[in-house]
Structure 1
Amino acid sequence: MKMICWIRSDFRFDDNAMFARAAELLVPGDEVEFVFWLNPGYIGEYEARQCYFFQALEHFYKKSEANGMPIRVISGEEDEFLEGISGADLLLFNAEYVEPFKSRDDAIIRKTSVKTERLLDRHLLHPHAVKKKDGSYYKVFTPYRKAFLQMEIGSVRWTDIDKLKEHYRSTDGADVERYFKQASEQAYEAGEETALKRLDEFVKRHLEKYDEARDFPAIDGTSRLSHHLRTGEIGIRTVYERIRQVDGKGRDVFLTELIWREFYHMILVQYPESKNQAVQREYRDIDWEEDETAFEAWCEGKTGFPIVDAAMRQLNETGWMHNRLRMITASFLAKDLLIDWRKGERYFQRKLIDYEAASNIGGWQWAASVGTDAVPYFRVFNPTTQSKRFDASGDFIRKFVPELAELDNKRIHEPSLADRERCGYPEQIVDHAMARDRAIARFKE
């Protein structure tokens, strides 16, 4: 039997359902090969998300090659991929349940004569696993979390790499080096080893106080594992099992965050239209403001609100944004500026190296009060209050808005007109009190 492992966003050997399954199935006389399908039409512009993806792929590509298992790259459209796998007896791949990837996979299964097997890997549970007693799906997180915790979670599956090596046979593939070169302008720390090291550091140094430190962007109090999970450099079961070995409130709060990831994945599978439409139907016709000047100021971190600007500059410079700041900036765009949340969601899609459609869409709909179990529409974050509460010393603002560095801990949150003129920092593009009243009135309509 000739077997192909179709690699997508699962750049690791351990805790990888596909590789573990392949090693289990191999018997004397069988052959296995790793394949990566590179469709140039899917790549788009090389912004942070694409750059990190290809750097993670490059790391795994070279690791596989060093282990004597070079990945064959098939470049082209669907027909080229189907032709490239046509000689196999079995195609293994880790499942994607959200669109458009599920439809892509369904089409491959339908059109190929090769036997296929897709496996649960990227999430702890199948999106249809957690249901109410009547068979319907949860729309509120708290009861979903309670039901989730009653479910049996699959354990980490270790891969017999030596067995894969023994049966590995590969043919020449397309040149992928030029894509790696294009992605190398900004260097990130990628790779399975980096992800595992980060998990170890987080558990040992930060997990105990995660519940207290996670909201403060100037502190290294979060796991910073999201981009590694996105590219599959670390398995979600590896993270889940390691975290569960620790006791304490920090552990419980972090596990809740992992369950939010599962919840939003389930929601996107049930509501695939939520990329472009609010889950709550009554908010699908909000009269959003058409203000490109304000939107550009938000994108560039030039709104005149220091915490918002620092957050957006962090995103633009690093490809990542602290979770508390994601809520602040999203609320500011959707409520203070009353600009369509979908524009912000798509901007984050371009810029985040950890972009996951389900979590990003869910988070944006939450902040904009249009999604499932969202914040009430009358709750509008005050960016200045948030700044004083979560960056009291102004350290985060100083790092990303250096023109305000000379201001003291009080003035840095609300620079005076004189401070702004002296520092070369813009005036506020909107009055928050007015904006809050406007947003509440617009949502009431």
Structure 2
Amino acid sequence: MKRVCWFRSDFRLTDNHMLHRVLTDVEDGDEIEFVFWLNPKYCEPFDTRHDYFFSTMRVFMDDLNSKKLGLRVIVTETSEQFVEELGEVDALYFNAEYVEPFKQRDDAVIKSLGEQVKVVRLLDRHLFHPDAFSTKDGNPYKVYTPFKKAAYSESPPKPYHVDVDQLKRFVGLSSDIPKELKEQFERCERDWKALGETEAKKRLTRFVNERLTNYADDRDIPSIAGTSRLSPYLRTGVLSIRTVVEQVLAAPKSKGRDMYFDELLWREFYYMVMAKFPGLKEEPFNEKYKRLVWEDDEAHFERWCKGETGYPLVDAAMRQLNETGWMHNRLRMVVASFLTKHLLLDWRKGERFFEQKLIDYEAASNIGGWQWAASVGTDAVPYFRIFNPVTQSERFDPEGTFIRRYVHELSHVTGKDIHFPKKEDRQDYIDPIVDHKEARERALSRFKDL
């Protein structure tokens, strides 16, 4: 019997539900094949997140080869062609996606396989299935707090054991890399640090041992390493959410530990919302705001993208994103609020820019976060709460350490002036593109009139 394991964004061998299950099912005489579907349509335009993804994939393939395990890469654009290239197969295993367009892709593959092929679709990327929790009326949760309460009533799943030595008995070695994948590897320009499963586990252990206890106090300070920086590993599947949760909850109880677990539940919440309410990438959750008229100012959008708004914390955050492919979570809220409230530009423009640039881009969390900041989503911040970028800077980067790291034009500015430099101190730094007070009043008026 030929059993195929279809890798997607789960570049790891340990605690992989798909691999655990196939080893549970496999019998003597069976064959297991690892495959990956490379769809060229998803590689354009090639940007930062692709660079990180394929760099990670290359490390994973090297790891497989070192363990005498092979991964066959199928290059095609349609589900029918993918199934045709698979050839004879008796069972297909994969870790499920429950949001569009990936669920639609998976459904199309299953349909193309036909009823004669056994399909094993498994929950892996998240702790809980989107249908796991509902209100007393049987509806999906729309507010985080009651969702969190329901999640706390359930024990999170434990990691799945995977016997790599047993895998070697059934999986062949295939080191052929198609030219299309070689081309993607060659396009990778950045020297990413700490790639792969081994490095991810080290970072997890260091975070739990050294920073978890103080996470509640340090997580909002962008100038220090106060967050876990595990999100890129979760995105590429190099690290399992179950492994993370088990190690976090095994740590001594603290405010930091509990808050970090709550942040992981936000990831679960947004995924559930995205699965139960399709179409949120294009439309706001709150239908009232479909009528909201956004500004059409491409020059302002470009200044925001480049980190040239004249507001130091906003510009430092955007430059961090452009330079590193990652942005501190507090700053994601600051720049999203600035784009949607100060500039009154459509949240979808910002969401798509983040999609291009973020190495940890996950649609559900990103879309949920943008709709939250724009006050158009589920459980969103009220429209009248508008982040003041200067106040945020004074509070979370009091010494201007983070600002000076990325806005070099202000390296000469001392004291509190770093948060909003005087005219004479700006020199090579741009003037603010909008006045905070005027922009705030405009946003309040625009939202209030709906």
Please give the TM-score of this superposition, normalised by the length of structure 1.
Answer: 0.98
Is 1:432 the counterpart of 2:433? The answer is no
Identity value in percent: 53
Aligned to 1:417: 423
5 Å-filtered alignment, 1:29-48, equals: 29-48=29-48
In 2: Cα distance, 1:170 partner to 1:81 partner: 21
C-alpha displacement at 1:370, in angstroms?
0.3
Q: Which residue among 260, 268, 271 is the counterpart of 1:265? A: 271
Is the partner of 1:320 in helix, strand or coil?
coil
Aligned to 1:193: 198
5 Å-filtered alignment, 1:284-363, equals: 284-363=290-369
Tell me the matched-pair count.
Answer: 443
C-alpha displacement at 1:289, in angstroms?
0.7
C-alpha displacement at 1:170, in angstroms?
5.2
AA matched with 1:184: E
What is the root-mean-square deviation in Å for CA atoms of aligned residues?
Answer: 1.1
Aligned to 2:2: 2
C-alpha displacement at 1:186, in angstroms?
4.3
Please give the TM-score of this superposition, normalised by the length of structure 2.
Answer: 0.97
Is 1:282 the counterpart of 2:294? The answer is no
Q: Which residue among 221, 240, 247 is the counterpart of 1:235? A: 240
C-alpha displacement at 1:430, in angstroms?
0.2
In 2: Cα distance, 1:190 partner to 1:45 partner: 23
Is the partner of 2:156 in helix, strand or coil?
coil
In 2: Cα distance, 1:100 partner to 1:25 partner: 29
5 Å-filtered alignment, 1:398-417, equals: 398-417=404-423
In 2: Cα distance, 1:376 partner to 1:235 partner: 34
Aligned to 1:54: 54
Q: Which moved more, 1:152-161 or 1:353-362?
A: 152-161
C-alpha displacement at 1:77, in angstroms?
2.0
Q: Which residue among 154, 159, 173 is the counterpart of 1:156? A: 159
Is 1:221 the counterpart of 2:222? The answer is no
Is the partner of 1:374 in helix, strand or coil?
coil
Q: Which residue among 383, 403, 411 is the counterpart of 1:377? A: 383
Unaligned runs of 5+ in 1: none
Aligned to 2:185: 180
Does the 8 Å contact 2:70/2:171 carry over to 1? no
In 2: Cα distance, 1:138 partner to 1:428 partner: 40
Q: Which residue among 204, 207, 230 is the counterpart of 2:209? A: 204
In 2: Cα distance, 1:97 partner to 1:174 partner: 29
AA matched with 1:46: F
C-alpha displacement at 1:115, in angstroms?
1.8
Is the partner of 2:70 in helix, strand or coil?
coil
Does the 8 Å contact 2:68/2:173 carry over to 1? no
Aligned to 1:146: 149
C-alpha displacement at 1:152, in angstroms?
3.2
Aligned to 2:75: 75
Does the 8 Å contact 1:331/1:380 carry over to 2? yes
Is the partner of 2:368 in helix, strand or coil?
helix
For residues 235-290 of structure 1, the C-alpha deviation after alignment (integer angstroms, 9 at most, x for no partner) is 00000111111211000100000000000001111122110111001111111111
- Relative to structure 1, the CA distance from residue 272 to residue 402 in structure 2 (aligned partners, 3 Å threshold; closer, same or farther) is same
C-alpha displacement at 1:188, in angstroms?
3.9
Is 1:132 the counterpart of 2:123? The answer is no
Q: Which residue among 383, 390, 395 is the counterpart of 1:389? A: 395
Unaligned runs of 5+ in 2: none
Does the 8 Å contact 1:72/1:174 carry over to 2? no
Q: Which residue among 420, 442, 445 is the counterpart of 1:441? A: 445
Is the partner of 2:418 in helix, strand or coil?
coil
Is the partner of 1:152 in helix, strand or coil?
coil
C-alpha displacement at 1:42, in angstroms?
1.4
Is the partner of 2:417 in helix, strand or coil?
coil
In 2: Cα distance, 1:358 partner to 1:409 partner: 39
In 1: Cα distance, 2:264 partner to 2:60 partner: 25
Does the 8 Å contact 1:72/1:170 carry over to 2? no
In 1: Cα distance, 2:217 partner to 2:391 partner: 18
AA matched with 1:215: D
Q: Which residue among 115, 123, 130 is the counterpart of 1:120? A: 123
Does the 8 Å contact 2:410/2:429 carry over to 1? yes
Does the 8 Å contact 1:86/1:112 carry over to 2? no
C-alpha displacement at 1:181, in angstroms?
1.6
Does the 8 Å contact 2:65/2:173 carry over to 1? no
5 Å-filtered alignment, 1:87-106, equals: 87-106=88-107
Aligned to 1:64: 64
Aligned to 2:254: 248
C-alpha displacement at 1:387, in angstroms?
0.2
C-alpha displacement at 1:184, in angstroms?
3.5
Does the 8 Å contact 2:234/2:240 carry over to 1? yes
- Relative to structure 1, the CA distance from residue 53 to residue 225 in structure 2 (aligned partners, 3 Å threshold; closer, same or farther) is same
Does the 8 Å contact 1:55/1:184 carry over to 2? no
Does the 8 Å contact 1:55/1:188 carry over to 2? no
Aligned to 1:168: 171
